[in-house]
């Protein structure tokens, strides 16, 4: 990836997708060593699709009997969601070739940005469940551009939107091409519905109650009549809301322990359609055309 300052970041293409060198080591270790259990749950996204939000939601949902979402010492109030739900290939297996996962509560919840074709074989072969969160590529792009500029700002100045956009459209972006990433999971979700759940950021924003209930059903932990009476759904959505999470001290001031990234970089504005404020008509046409061509015949639409 060439940058404005002339500084370059090398990306490597592995199994059709782009990775940083260091991160690729994590991918390889994870592929070699990770053994999925039948009741594991894996949240998969391409970066900037709303991973942080879904990590918080799935964590709260699965742990709601241990930690009631309204309790004062709920783990989400003092931990960034990335610390509660680690990325397999970016945190666990990047640090160690074969990390000890025995402390993870059952069912184990992990996240990943891996494309379907690069998932460890045990994930594909086992009955573990996969939740894929997809987002409109135009919003992913704006979120990604803003995110990388925030990370680069102090050192090198910002990348122009045109520069990053060209690469995004060519598919040269972390874990990209985005269309292959999305289509890989989309096709699996049509084939084996009880294993693969495909959800969009936009659906979740529009009808969060409905989709939280659907997620609970898919994961085999539906809300009981008592929980419905007590508005457990509303309580989970509240603690995971953008307003609540972005205002927590831990997310305003903290840093991820396994990287230099500030927690606040994961919270920008959390809206649908912010691309309208940045992309030119030509950019929109180019990206729409790519999406139409790549998704043609698949049933996936944005």
Q: Which residues bind ligand A3P (CB under 6 A)?
A: 45, 47-53, 139, 143, 146, 240-242, 245, 266-270, 274
CB of 171 to ligand A3P, least distance (A): 18
Residue 37 neighbours by CB under 8 Å, 6+ apart: 106, 107, 108, 126, 128
DSSP 264-281: GGG-S---S-GGGGT--H
Q: Please say which residue, 53 or 93, places its beta carbon nearer to ligand A3P.
A: 53
CB of 20 to ligand A3P, least distance (A): 16
17 neighbors 176 (Cβ within 8 angstroms)? yes
CB of 140 to ligand A3P, least distance (A): 8
Sign of CA dihedral 211, 213, 216, 217: negative
Query: Is beta strand 129-134 parallel, antiparallel or unpaired with respect to 109-112?
Result: unpaired
CB of 265 to ligand A3P, least distance (A): 8
Clarify whether 113 is annotated catalytic.
Answer: yes
> E strands within 120-169?
129-134
172 neighbors 20 (Cβ within 8 angstroms)? no
What do you get for the CA distance between the two ends of the chain, in Å?
27
Tokens representing 300 are 């996936």
Query: Is beta strand 109-112 parallel, antiparallel or unpaired with respect to 41-45?
Result: parallel
Q: Please say which residue, 33 or 214, places its beta carbon nearer to ligand A3P.
A: 214
Catalytic residue among 17, 74, 82, 113: 113
Q: Please say which residue, 64 or 138, places its beta carbon nearer to ligand A3P.
A: 138
Q: Please say which residue, 97 or 179, places its beta carbon nearer to ligand A3P.
A: 179
CA distances from 100 to 22, 112, 126, 236 (A): 20, 18, 20, 30
Q: Please say which residue, 230 or 274, places its beta carbon nearer to ligand A3P.
A: 274
Tokens representing 297 are 């015949």
Q: Please say which residue, 1 or 256, places its beta carbon nearer to ligand A3P.
A: 256
Beta-bridge partners for 134: 200
- Token look-up 């391409």 returns 46
Length of the chain: 302
CB of 227 to ligand A3P, least distance (A): 21
Residue 170 neighbours by CB under 8 Å, 6+ apart: 177
CB of 147 to ligand A3P, least distance (A): 7
Question: Known catalytic residues?
Answer: 113
């Amino acid at each position: 990836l060439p940058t404005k300052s002339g500084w370059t970041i090398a990306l490597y293409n592995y199994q059709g997708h782009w990775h940083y060198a260091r991160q690729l080591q994590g991918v390889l270790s994870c592929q070699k060593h990770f053994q999925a259990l039948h009741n594991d749950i894996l949240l998969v996204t391409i970066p900037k699709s709303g991973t942080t939000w879904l990590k918080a939601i799935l964590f709260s949902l699965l742990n709601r009997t241990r930690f009631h979402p309204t309790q004062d010492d709920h783990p989400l109030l003092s931990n960034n969601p990335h610390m509660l739900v680690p990325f397999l290939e970016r945190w666990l297996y990047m640090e160690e070739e074969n990390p000890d996962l025995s402390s993870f509560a059952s069912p184990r919840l992990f996240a990943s940005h891996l494309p379907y074709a690069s998932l460890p074989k045990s994930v594909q072969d086992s009955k573990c469940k996969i939740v894929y969160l997809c987002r409109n590529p135009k919003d992913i792009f704006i979120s990604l551009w803003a995110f990388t500029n925030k990370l680069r700002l102090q050192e090198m100045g910002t990348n122009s939107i045109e520069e990053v956009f060209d690469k995004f459209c060519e598919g040269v972006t972390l874990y990209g091409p985005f269309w292959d990433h999305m289509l890989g999971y989309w096709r699996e979700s049509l084939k084996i519905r009880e294993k693969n759940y495909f959800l969009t950021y936009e659906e979740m924003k529009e009808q969060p109650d409905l989709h939280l209930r659907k997620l609970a059903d898919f994961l085999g932990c539906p809300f009981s009549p008592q929980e419905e009476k007590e508005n457990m759904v509303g309580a989970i959505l509240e603690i995971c809301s953008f307003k609540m999470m972005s205002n927590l001290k831990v997310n305003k001031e903290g840093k991820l322990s396994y990287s230099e990234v500030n927690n606040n970089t994961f919270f920008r504005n959390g809206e649908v359609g912010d691309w309208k404020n940045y992309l030119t008509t030509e950019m929109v046409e180019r990206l729409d055309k790519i999406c139409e061509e790549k998704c043609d015949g698949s049933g996936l639409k944005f």
